Amino acid sequence: MEIWRGKAYPLGATYDGSGTNFALFSEVAERVELCLFDDDGDGGLRETRITLPEVDGFVWHGFIPNIEPGQRYGYRVHGPYDPAAGHRCNPNKLVLDPYAKAIDGQFDWGQPLFSYNFGDPDSRNDDDSAPNMPKSVVINPYFDWGVDRPPSHDYADTVIYEAHVKGLTQTHPDIPDNIRGTYAAVAHPAIVEHLQNLGINAIELMPVHHFANDSTLIDKGLSNYWGYNTIGFLAPDSKYSSSPNPGGQVQEFKAMVRTLHEAGIEVILDVVYNHTAEGNHMGPTLSFRGIDNAAYYRLVDDDKRYYMDYTGTGNSLNVGHPHALQLIMDSLRYWVIEMHVDGFRFDLASTLAREFYDVDRLATFFELVQQDPVVSQVKLIAEPWDVGPGGYQVGNFPPLWTEWNGKYRDTVRDYWRGEPATLDEFASRITGSADLYEQTGRRPFASINFVIAHDGFTLRDLVSYNEKHNEANGEDNNDGESHNRSWNCGAEGPTDDPEVNALRSRQQRNFITTLLLSQGVPMLAHGDELGRTQQGNNNVYCQDSELSWIDWESADTELLEFTQKVSALRSAHPVFRRRRFFNGRPVRRPGEPRLPDIGWYAPDGSEMTDEDWDAGYAKSMAVYLNGQGIPDRDERGQRIVDDSFYMCFNAHYEPIEFVLPPSDFAEQWVEVINTAADCGTDPIEAGTRVTVESRAMLVLQAHHD
C-alpha cells in the first residue's frame, strides 16, 4: 500500500478528502506500525501493517491516499519493555490512538490484553491482542451545523441538569425503542420539552468520552455504568449511539448538540482527565501504556514499575509532561471547536493541579487554560477534590473556574435534617458562599450549588434512608459513602405511614426550593424532580439497569409541577440570580426607605444577633432580599430592579410563628412558595404573624396593588 511522508500535525487520523494523515507521539518508540483493519468476508477482520515512514519531534507520521472515513485502525509500537524503568512497549499489543475521534467495538477481556502473564506480573506476555481490541476509526469531519450558535448563558442565569445519557432516556415511553439510551434520545422532543419546562438551560452529561467496561464488573454480571474509565479523550462513546456504522456516533452527537442549542440548552461534558482505564501496574495495555508509559502517567520515583494514584483508580495522568498536557488541551479544544460543546466539569480536578505531590492552584494546566483563547471562554467547572493528601480544595481554584460546592451540599443537608449549629453556615451557603469565593475576586456564581449528584443518594432516597443499601453491587455493602447526612423521616425505606410519606415529600420540596432560590448556580440531578429512587443504593456506578434509570411511568407529577414552579420563580426574579455578593449595607435609592440589600431576622421579627447565630439549637430564621438593592445592570446598562422577598426557614420539629417586617419593607406580602401547603391567595399585611409548619419553608413576595 502506498504511503507518503505526511505531516506531524495534527495528531491522530485526519481525513482531507483525498486520503488520511496518521500521526502518533512516542518519545521511546523505535518503530511504529499503523495497522489497518478491513472485513475479511468471513465475519472477521483482515489486518494490514504499514510502518510509518517519518518521525519529527517524536511524532511518527504518514499519509495514505484513498483511506476514507469508516476505516478502522490501530498501532503497534516497537520499543523498550522495561517496567522497572517505566517502559512498557510491546508490539504484540494493538493500541488505540490517543487522538482517535471514534472507536468501534468493545474489549474482549482476557490474557492477550495484558503484557504480563496472569499470576506473574514480572513476566512478559506476547499474545496478539488485536482480536480482543476495539479499533480506532477514521471519521468524516464534515457536518452541517446550519446556523448553530452557542447559547452562551451567563453563569448567574444558568440552571444545570446533571444527566446520564442512558439513565435519562432508557424508559421514556415517548421515545422510540431503537434510539432509547442514545444521543438521539437526549435530542428527542420529549426530553427537550421536559428540560425546557423545568427551566433547564444547561445539561451536564456524565462521561461520554469512550470508556472501558471493567472486566471485574463484567465477571460479576455488572458493568461500568457511570463511565469514569476513559480510554478515548476525543471519541464520543459508541455505546450511546443508535448508528450501526463505525464513526456514526460522531454525527449523532453533533446532531444532539445542534438540537439542544436550538432549544437554548447548553451542553456541558463531565470529563475525566485525571486517569485512564489502563489502571495500575496490573492493568491491561490498551493505549497510552504501550505507546509511551512514562510520558502519559505519573510513576513512582524510586520504582517506576508502579503508578502514583491520586484518584483511587490505579493511575494518574502525568499533567507535568508537555505531550500529556497537549493531549488534554487538544481534546478540550476539539470538543469546543468541532463538537460545539459549551463547557466541562472536571472530575477530581485537584489531580490536575498536582505539579508533583502538592496541590498547586497555579499549576501548569491551569496556566494553559487561562491563556487558551478557546478553552478559557467556555464554562469550566471543577470537582475540587481528589483522594490524595491535601486534595479537598473547595474555594481554592483560580478565578476563571467555578466549583462544585461540596460544603453547600453538606450544610444544606445538615440544616434540613435538624443537625445542631448549622444556622450561620447555612446562611453563608444560600447567599453564595462569599467566605469561599469573594477573596479570590470571584462572584456568587463561582459556587455550583447542589444537594444531590450522581454519586450518592437520589433526593427521594436522601429523605427515605438512614443507611446505604448497596448489596446489589456485590461488595457486601462495603462500597459507597457511609456518612450521607441523610434522614429517613422515621422509617427506613418504603412505608405505608402517611405521616412519614408526607414529611418526605415536604423535605424534598424544602431541598428543591432552597437549591433553586440560593445565590449561585443550581444543579439538579436527573430524575430528582420526578421522585426517582435507587432503593437506597448510593453508588450505582455498576448498575446499568432499572435501578439506576429514571422510571418515567412512576414519576411524581406533583413534585415535578412544584419544581417547575420554583424554577420559574427563580427565572423571573433577578434577586435570586445576583452577580455580586450581598454587603448588608443600606441601599440608597431616591424616594425609597433605606433598607439593607439583605437582612436576617429571628422568627419574632428582630434582627439576628450573635447570640441567635451561635445558638446550636436554633433551626429557624428569615431572610429579607431587597429587590431595590441589586447592584447589577442589564446588557443595556440599565439598573436591575426587582420585587423584594421574605423567606422563612423552619427546620424545627414544631410549627413556628414568624412576624413579618414592618411596612417600610412592604405594605403587604403574598405567598408564592409554601413547601407545606398550597399558597394562600390573599395579601398579608406588614407585621402580621404567619405560621410556618414544622420542617417547612415559606417564600413571600412584596405585593403591589
Strand partners, 649: 621, 697
Q: pLDDT tens for residues 623-632?
A: 999 999 998 8
Same-domain status, 553 and 608 = no
pLDDT band at residue 489 under the 50/70/90 scheme? very high
Using one digit for the tens of pLDDT, what is the confidence trace for 285-322?
999 999 999 999 999 999 999 999 988 899 999 988 99
CA distance linking residue 533 with residue 527, whole number of Å = 8
- 498 and 540 housed in the same domain: yes
SS3 597: coil
Which residues have a Cβ under 8 Å from the Cβ of 339 and sit 6 or more positions away?
Answer: 236, 253, 254, 257
- Using CA atoms, how far apart are residues 675 and 472, in angstroms rounded to an integer? 34
**449-460 tens-digit pLDDT:** 999 999 999 999
Q: In which residue are the cell numbers 510513576 written?
A: 299
The enclosing domain of 638 has a CATH number of 2.60.40.1180
- Together in a domain, 575 and 635: no
For residues 550 and 467, membership in a common domain is answered with: yes
The residue out of 138, 160, 175 marking a domain boundary is: 138
CB 77 within 8 A of CB 112: no
- Whether residues 468 and 555 share a domain: the answer is yes
Average pLDDT, stretch 607-635?
A: 92
Same domain? For 29 and 94 the reply is: yes
C-alpha distance from residue 607 to each of 125, 424, 595 (Å) = 74, 14, 13
Grid cell in block for residue 195: 428540560
E strand segments, 639-688 = 645-650, 656-659, 668-674, 684-685
Q: Are residues 497 and 606 in the same domain?
A: no
Residues 537 and 619 in one domain: no
Q: What is the pLDDT of residue 356?
A: 60
Of 426, 440, 371, the C-alpha closest to 623 is: 426
Kindly state the cell numbers that stand for 380: 469550566
User: 524 and 593, same structural domain?
Assistant: no
Residue 355 has pLDDT above 70, yes or no: no
Do residues 618 and 570 share a domain?
no
Stretch 246-264: mean pLDDT: 98
pLDDT at residue 579 above 90?
A: yes
Active site residues: 347, 383
Minimal CA–CA distance to 127: which of 236, 233, 285? Answer: 285
Beta-bridge partner residues of 403: 382, 447
Looking at the structure, do residues 503 and 637 belong to the same domain, yes or no? no
The answer to whether position 267 is within a domain reads: no
Give the model confidence (pLDDT) of 670-700 as tens digits.
Answer: 999 999 999 999 999 999 999 999 999 999 9
Looking at residue 101, which CATH number applies to its domain? 2.60.40.10
Can you give the pLDDT at residue 361? 66
- Cβ proximity of 27 and 79 under 8 Å: no
* Residue 48 confidence (pLDDT) above 70: yes
H or E stretch including 371? helix 364-371
Is residue 262 domain-resident?
Answer: no
* Domain annotation covers residue 381: no
Domain that holds residue 534: 418-430+455-581
Take residue 406 and report the three cell numbers written for it. Answer: 461540596
Q: Which of 581, 611, 643 is the last residue of a domain?
A: 581
Domain for residue 474, yes or no? yes
On whether the CB atoms of residues 402 and 445 are closer than 8 A, the answer is: yes
Average pLDDT over residues 417-430: 93
DSSP 399: T
Domain boundary among 106, 138, 170: 138
- Flag whether 88 is in a domain: yes
Q: Residue 370: inside a domain, yes or no? A: no
- Exposure string over 328-360, b if 16+ CB within 10 A, otherwise e: bbbbbebbbeebbbbbbbbbbbbbbbbeeeebe
Does some domain include residue 117?
A: yes
Helices (H), 431-582: 434-437, 459-462, 498-517, 557-572
Total number of domains in the chain: 3
Helices (H), 585-637: 610-614
* CA–CA separation, 25 and 541 (whole Å): 33
- Three cell numbers, residue 352: 490536575
Query: With helix as H, strand as E and coil as C, how does 76-121 read?
Result: EEECCEEHHHCEECCCCCCECCCCCCCEECCCCCCHHHCCCECCEC
Mean pLDDT of the region 608-633:
92
Q: Is the distance from CB of 694 to CB of 652 less than 8 angstroms?
A: yes
Cell of 259: 438540537
**Do 550 and 685 share a domain, yes or no?**
no
Residue with cell 519531534: 57
- The answer as to whether 289 is a domain residue is no
Answer for the pair 479, 470: CB distance below 8 angstroms, yes or no.
yes
